[in-house]
Structure 1
Amino acid sequence: MQGKNPRRIQLFSGLLCFFALFMAACGSQASTPTAGKAADDQQVFRYPMEGKQDFGTLDPALVQDATDSYAIQAIFTGLVQFDDKGNVKDQLAASHSVSSDGLTYTFKLKPNAKFSDGSAITASDVAYSINRALDPATKSPVVSYLSLLKDSDKIASGDVKTLIGDSIIVTDPGTIKLVISQPAAYFLQTLTYPSSYVVEKKLIEKYGTSWTDHLQEGGTAGPFKVQSYSHSTGLILVPDSNYYGGKPQLKRLEMPFSGDVDTTYKAYQSKQYDYATVPAASLPQAKTRPDFVRTPALVIRYISMNYLAKPFNNIKIRQALALAIKKSLITDNVLHGAVDPTNRLVPAGMYGASSSVNGPTGLATVDGDANKAKELLTEGLKEEGLTSMPDFTFTYYTGSATIKKVVDAVMSQWQAVLGITPKTNAIDFDALVNAQNATIGNSSLQVWIGGWQADYPDPQDWLSIFFGKGQSYNDNNYGQNQSATATAQQAVQADLKKADVEQNATKRAQLYNTAEQKLINDVAWIPLYQSASVVLVNPKLKGYTVDALGITDPEDWQNIYMTK
C-alpha cells in the first residue's frame, strides 16, 4: 500500500511452508527477553511516521496507506493475522473451520476478548464491524477485500441494507460464520487486512465520523491503546491491560510525525528516534553501521498511465514510454543499489511469482530499447492522428526526496530518448491516494508514480485487485475503456477471475503468470523496481522484526523490549 496499502497466501500446506522459510530468511528474528532489560521508564519505542503531516485515517475500514495501517495494527485486531514468518494464524479467533464445499468459515472467538475500555467483544461486534465496512454509507475505499462475502454486491448496490443474518451469521456470542460466494484460496488472507478488524459500535455511534479522535475513550482491541492523538504531532500508545493476548513489555510506543526521510534519518542519528529509513544517498555509509538492516520487501514501485486519458489509450505509446526507461540507471545511480530493477508486477520471492518475465514487446532486459521506443512512439502518434506528443502531467507525491529524484530520472530519459518533457504536479501523499481513487471511470489523472506493498502475499493482491473487472483499485481503467485493445484486456480480466477461484495451487500460479505477462505487454504499469526495507534500528531494541510484509505480529510485542 505505496503506500496504499498500507499496507499483506495461505495457499495451504507446502506453499505456506515455503513462504514461511522465505520470511524467516529475510527478517530479523524476534527473541525472548533476557538479562539486561532496561527499567520501565526506558521502555519507550519511538517509531517515526516518515513523510506524514497527519494520519490519513485511523479507521480500519478506510485505511489504504501502509504507514496508517502500521499504527492501526498496533491498536486494532481481527479474526486472523499474519505472524512474522508469513503464516496466517488465528488472532481474535481462538479457532476456525471451513466447510467441505469451501464456502462457509466458522470462527470461535477467544472467550476473554475485550475492547480497551473493558467491554466484552462478542461475535455481534465482529459482525457489526465487517458489515460496517461493506455498508456504502461508510464509503470504504478498501471494501474490495470483503467482496468475496456472498451478496456483497447487493449491499453495495443498495438492494439489501445489511449482510448480518445473510453471509455474516452470529450463531452465539462466541461464534460467527462468514459465507463466501465462491471457493477462494486466499479468503483468510483478505481477512488479515484491517477492513475486517473489530471496532466498537458505541464509540462510533457517539462520535460519528470523528470517532477516531476519541480513541483514548476505548474502541480498540489491540496490544496497545491510545493515550493521546494529536493531528499535528502524532500518536502515543500505551499497553492495553484488557488485551486478550500477551501484554507488551514496552510501556510507550510513540509515533510522531517526523518530516521527510532525510530529516528523520538525521533525527535518528541524534537519538531522537529508534527507527529510520536510510535515504538512498546515505546508503553506502549506512551499510557499515551495526544498526543497519536490509530486508527484501514485497513492494513494487511503478508508473501508471490512465487508459481513459488520451493518448495513453494507445498501446504503442504506452510501450514507447516503458521502453525508453533504462531502469538500472535509476536503481544504481539514483538509489545506489538499495532496490532491484524489475519488469515484474508480482514481486520475486513469494508464491505465484513467475520464474521469469519479459518487458513489453518481449524485451528480456530491464534497460529498455531506445530505438524500439522511438519507432513505437511514431507509430502510436500516427494511429492517434497526431504529429507530436501532446502535453500531459506526471503527478508524484511530496515528502520524499528520493521519489522526486526517481521522477526526474524518468523524465530525463523520456526527454533524451523520445523528446518528451511532461509537466509535473507534486501533491501530498494522501492527496495522491485520493486522486487515484477518484480517477476510476475518468481521465482526471494522466500519469503518476505509485507503489504497492502486499496486504497479503498472493498474486490476487497484485493483479486482480488492480486490473480485474470492476475492482476498486483499477484506477488506470484497465479493461474499462474503449481503446483498440479493450477486448484483449477484458479477456485478461476473465483469466484473472479464473485464477482467483482455482483451487489447484500450481495451476492457479500458472494462470496468474500468463495473465501477468499479458498485463506487462499491455503496459498496465511500468514497473521500475522492487523495494527493500533499508533501515536503521536502535541496537537497544530487542525482539523487533523487520519483515517482508512490513507488519508486526500483535503477539510479538510481548517479546519486544529495550535493553539498558
Structure 2
Amino acid sequence: MQGKKALRTQMFAGMLCLMTLLMAACGQSGSTGNVQKAADDQQIFKYPMSGKQDFGTLDPALVQDATDGYAIQAIFTGLVEFDAQGQVQDQLATSHTVSADGLTYTFKLKPNLTFSDGAALTAQDVAYSINRSLDPATKSAVTSYLSLLKDSDKMASGAVKTLIGDSIIVVDPSTIKLVINQPAAYFLQTLTYPTAYVVEQKLIEKYGTAWTDHLQEGGGNGPFKVQSYNHTTGLILVPNEHYYGKMPQLKRLEMPFSGDLDTTYKAYLSKQYDYTTLTAAQVPNSKNRNDFHENPTLVTRYLSLNYLAKPFDNIKVRQALALALKKELITKNVLQDSVQATNHMIPEGMYGASKNLTGPAGVTSVNGDAAKAKQLLAEGLKEEGLSSFPDVTFTYYTGNSSIKKITDAVLSQWQAVLGITMKTNAIDFDALIQAEGATTGHADPLQVWISAWQADYPDPQDWLSIYFEKGASYNNNNYGQNNSTSAAAQQAVQAKLVAADKETDVTKRAQLYNEAEQQLVNDVAWIPLYQSVNHTLINPKVQGYVDNALLIIPPDDWSKVYIAR
C-alpha cells in the first residue's frame, strides 16, 4: 500500500482490464467444486519472493514495497481492511461509527483479541501502534497515511511527543476514538495501510529495531505467524492458533527469496514453487496453459524527473522528453502488446480518472509529437543557458528483465528524436526506494528514474496527493518544492489537491482531481508509460487463491486456500 508505497510494485504486469470503482477480482486458482483436499502434510503453499534478496522490512510502520507488504499483511492486521472487491470492512474492529461533523471515528474491537503469543490485544495496543508509526523516532517514510490525524504535524515537528489522549483516544479496553483534522472521504481507506496495523509493544521494547527478527516469539495478530525468518533464504509462516478470524487451511506458507523473474519462472516450471509472475516475453507462450491467470491491477509504470536537477527545472525540457516518446512502440515491441500505453496517472476506469485528459502541451496521442519535442528542447536549453544537454544519469532497478528493456527503449527514442544520451545506473529495488527518499529536497542521488505505483486504495488521493502535495512522503521529484520559474504554478496545483482532499461532494471532488491531474501531466510531474494487469501461473492444485486489483489477500480469505490432491 505511497506515502504506499506506499506499496511500490516491482512486479511486471500486462494490459489493463476495464475497471469499475470497486474492482472485482478476475483471476482465481483452480475450482473448489468436487475437489478433494490433500493431506495436512501436503498443505504447503510455496509463494516465491521474486526480485528480492531479503525483505526491505517486516515492520508495518516502515513498509513501502509491495512484496514486503504481502508478507506483512499475512502476519499483522488493523482496525479495518479491504475485502477482495476493494471495499473497506471492519477487521480487528467489530463496528465503527462516525460523528456528525465527520471528524471523530469510534471503533469497537472484537472481543477477546490476542497477539500470536496469546497475550491480550486491547485498544491501548491499537493506540500504541498508530502513535509509534507517527513517532519521529520510528523513522517511518510513510507517515502521510496517518497525516489526517489531528496534530500529526505537531508530532512530526516535535512540538508534541504523543497523540495518545489527543487525537488517539482510548475510551476503554475495547473502544478507541480517532480524531482527524478535516472531513475526508478516504480516511478509512488510509487505515488499511500497514502503518495502522497493530504490533506488540513488549516485543519492540525487548529487541528494539531488531524486533522483526524475533517474530517467532509473537508480535503479530494475523492469520499466520512466523515459524522462521532467514535473511538469506526467506520466511516460513504457519497458522496463528490465536487468530480471531477464520483459520487458514494451509499448514505452511513459504516465502523463499527466488531470484529475478526469469529465474523464478524456470523454478516454477520445475515445480519448485506454486506461483510465479510472468514477464511480457513469457505471456504469449503461457496463455493457453491451464495454470495461466490474469487479473486487473491498479498499477502505473512511469518515469520521474528530479525538478532540482538541471535541466529538469525547465518545463520545456521536461515536456520535450515526454513528447519524444512513442509509448505504443514500447508496449508493442518491448512488452508484446501486453500493456496499455497511457498519458494518465490515475488508472482509466477508476473513480476520479479523467476521460478528457491530454498529454503535455495539449498533445492527445500517447505517441507524442517529435517535432514539438525538438522545438521545446531547443527553447528550454536556451532558457537555461545551455548549448547542449548536460550529463545526466538514468537509474533503473534490477530483478525484472522487462525494466532494462523499457529503459533501453526510452533512451533509444530520446537519442533518435532529441539527439541526447544518458548514462545508466542499475540498482536493486530496495536501493531505489532508499534513493528516492534521499532525493527529496536534493538534486541527487536520482536525476531520472523508472518506477511504478501500485494503489494502496482505489481513490485519486492515493495517486496524486500522496505524491505531489507539499511535504508529501513521495514527493521525491520535488514538485512545487523548487526554485524554478514554474514553482508558483506547481504550488497552485498543490493547493488544488488539498481542496480536493477536503471536498465531500463526490462529483466536485472528482472534478478537482481531474483538473489537478491535467496540470500535473502538463508539468510532467511523471511521464506515465502504461497501465497494467498481473499475469501469473498458479499451480492448479492451489485452490481458492484469488488475485485482485489491489494485489492483496484479505486476512480471512486465507481460510479459503488449500492444496488439492
Q: TM-score, normalised by structure 2?
A: 0.96
Structure 2 CA distance for aligned equivalents of residues 490 and 219 of structure 1 = 42
Per the alignment, residue 519 of structure 1 pairs with 520
Counterparts of residues 462-477 of structure 1 (less than 5 Å): 462-477=463-478
Q: Which amino acid aligns with 1:388?
A: S
Structure 2 CA distance for aligned equivalents of residues 363 and 293 of structure 1 = 35
DSSP 3-state at the match of 2:285: helix
Contact kept, 8 Å, 2:96 with 2:106, in 1: the verdict is yes
Per the alignment, residue 230 of structure 1 pairs with 230
Report the CA distance between 1:295 and its aligned residue: 1.2
Report the CA distance between 1:349 and its aligned residue: 2.6
Per the alignment, residue 393 of structure 2 pairs with 393
Report the CA distance between 1:4 and its aligned residue: 3.0
2:128 aligned with 1:128: yes
DSSP 3-state at the match of 1:255: strand
DSSP 3-state at the match of 2:374: helix
Per the alignment, residue 242 of structure 2 pairs with 242
* Alpha-carbon displacement from aligned partner over 1:195-244 (angstroms, at most 9, x marks no partner): 01000000000000000000000000000000000000000000000000
Structure 1 CA distance for aligned equivalents of residues 348 and 503 of structure 2 = 21
Report the CA distance between 1:355 and its aligned residue: 1.6
**Which stretch shows the higher mean deviation, 363-372 or 186-195?**
363-372
Per the alignment, residue 13 of structure 2 pairs with none
Report the CA distance between 1:5 and its aligned residue: 3.1
DSSP 3-state at the match of 2:112: coil
Structure 2 CA distance for aligned equivalents of residues 352 and 29 of structure 1 = 31
Contact kept, 8 Å, 2:29 with 2:542, in 1: the verdict is no
Report the CA distance between 1:19 and its aligned residue: 2.9
Structure 2 CA distance for aligned equivalents of residues 365 and 297 of structure 1 = 23
Overall identity of the aligned pairs, in %: 72
Per the alignment, residue 323 of structure 1 pairs with 323
* Alpha-carbon displacement from aligned partner over 1:473-513 (angstroms, at most 9, x marks no partner): 10000001111111110110010000001001111011101
Contact kept, 8 Å, 1:118 with 1:242, in 2: the verdict is yes
Which sections of structure 2, spanning at least 5 residues, go unmatched? 10-18
Which sections of structure 1, spanning at least 5 residues, go unmatched? 9-16
Report the CA distance between 1:28 and its aligned residue: 3.0
Q: Which amino acid aligns with 1:562?
A: I
Report the CA distance between 1:472 and its aligned residue: 1.3
Structure 2 CA distance for aligned equivalents of residues 254 and 552 of structure 1 = 15
For the aligned residues, what is the CA RMSD?
1.5
Report the CA distance between 1:282 and its aligned residue: 1.5
Structure 1 CA distance for aligned equivalents of residues 479 and 255 of structure 2 = 37
Counterparts of residues 14-33 of structure 1 (less than 5 Å): 19-20=21-22, 22-24=23-25, 26-28=26-28
Structure 2 CA distance for aligned equivalents of residues 513 and 29 of structure 1 = 37
Structure 2 CA distance for aligned equivalents of residues 30 and 101 of structure 1 = 47
2:285 aligned with 1:285: yes
Give the number of equivalent residue pairs: 554
Contact kept, 8 Å, 1:33 with 1:561, in 2: the verdict is no
Per the alignment, residue 148 of structure 2 pairs with 148
Contact kept, 8 Å, 1:268 with 1:274, in 2: the verdict is yes
DSSP 3-state at the match of 2:530: strand
Q: Which amino acid aligns with 2:350?
A: M
Per the alignment, residue 4 of structure 1 pairs with 5
Structure 2 CA distance for aligned equivalents of residues 149 and 167 of structure 1 = 6
Counterparts of residues 66-85 of structure 1 (less than 5 Å): 66-85=66-85
Contact kept, 8 Å, 2:323 with 2:370, in 1: the verdict is yes
Structure 1 CA distance for aligned equivalents of residues 408 and 32 of structure 2 = 46
Structure 1 CA distance for aligned equivalents of residues 154 and 34 of structure 2 = 54
Report the CA distance between 1:73 and its aligned residue: 0.0
Contact kept, 8 Å, 1:33 with 1:559, in 2: the verdict is no
Report the CA distance between 1:470 and its aligned residue: 1.1
2:406 aligned with 1:406: yes
Contact kept, 8 Å, 2:5 with 2:142, in 1: the verdict is no
Per the alignment, residue 15 of structure 2 pairs with none
Structure 2 CA distance for aligned equivalents of residues 266 and 472 of structure 1 = 37
Per the alignment, residue 64 of structure 1 pairs with 64
DSSP 3-state at the match of 1:178: strand
Report the CA distance between 1:32 and its aligned residue: 6.0
Counterparts of residues 15-414 of structure 1 (less than 5 Å): 19-20=21-22, 22-24=23-25, 26-28=26-28, 35-414=35-414
Per the alignment, residue 12 of structure 1 pairs with none
